[in-house]
Structure 1
Amino acid sequence: MSDAIVAYFEALERLKKRGAKINNDTVAIEAGNKKGSIKRSRPVFEELIKAIDEAAAEQVAKRAQPEAKLVQLRDEKKTLRQLLDESIEREINLIDEIYTLKAQLAAYTAGKIVALPGGKDSSRQ
């Protein structure tokens, strides 16, 4: 391998480590050459271009992972929101039932206090 090709591969590795965008032009510039110096039509660059394409594909895959995580978190948020709304609805229904039962109890007793037989007061007689 020529020294120029080795310099391109070293530039590719530096770009990978940095997480910079990887394509033929960025590798060429990182290697200290002009943009467009890596041409697909030249057989010398065949292996280099293959390595650049693989590195670029890996970058795209890594960028897609956070998007999938974001979709998952949005779905989880939607599910949790639905569960929260359902629990609030249950609590409101229970509060309404308690209010109704208190009103019924007040209507039954209507201020009357009735002593039950066998209670604490029956032993005092």
Structure 2
Amino acid sequence: MSDTISDYYAALDRLKQRKAKINNDTVALAAGRKKGSIKKSRPQFIALIQAIEEAQKEVVRPEVVIADRLEQARGNAKDIQRRLDASLARELALVREVFRLRKELAVLRGGNVVPFHSPTQAAGVEQ
């Protein structure tokens, strides 16, 4: 029976190196045995089952890493969207202010107010 147990441990080591999914069934299949051959009710497998559980904790599964990266990307997208909305709101406020000032300037120019300089002199062009 110890030869069988050593086959299971060798299969567990191979799965760890490949960073594959590790559970009782995958270890059994990798050892060339049937799925479900590692049972908790069999006392000879207690240490093996504990080693499999430890290996599950050690192996970083790509699904977990991808899920973490996806969640981070979603958070970044939300932050970028929030910043974009804030900048658009500022721009809209500035456009409204420019529009209001242009209307006020048109009223002032249309009335009895005469500008001190002609528009070309204000732009720095000499006549």
Equivalent residue runs for 1:29-40 within 5 Å: 29-40=29-40
After TM superposition, give the deviation of residue 47 of structure 1 in Å. 1.0
Name whichever of 99-108 and 17-26 sits farther off: 17-26
Equivalent residue runs for 1:76-91 within 5 Å: 76-91=76-91
TM-score when normalising by structure 1: 0.75
Identity %: 47
Equivalence for 1:75: 75
TM-score when normalising by structure 2: 0.74
Q: Distance in 2 between matches of 1:20 and 1:65?
A: 14
After TM superposition, give the deviation of residue 20 of structure 1 in Å. 2.4
Cα-Cα RMSD:
2.9
**5+ unaligned residues in a row in structure 1: which ranges?**
121-125
1:100-122 per-residue CA deviation (whole Å, 9 max, x = no partner) reads 111211211128783639xx8xx
Equivalence for 1:109: 109
Q: 1:47 to 1:106 in 2, by over 3 A?
A: same
Equivalent residue runs for 1:8-87 within 5 Å: 8-59=8-59, 63-87=63-87
Equivalence for 1:123: none
Q: Which amino acid aligns with 2:80?
A: L
Q: 1:3 to 1:108 in 2, by over 3 A?
A: same
1:12-61 per-residue CA deviation (whole Å, 9 max, x = no partner) reads 11112223221112111111112222222222211111011122234477
**5+ unaligned residues in a row in structure 2: which ranges?**
122-127
Equivalence for 1:92: 92
Tell me the matched-pair count. 118
Q: Distance in 1 between matches of 2:100 and 2:115?
A: 24
- Checking the alignment, whether the CA contact within 8 Å between 2:23 and 2:56 is kept in structure 1 is yes
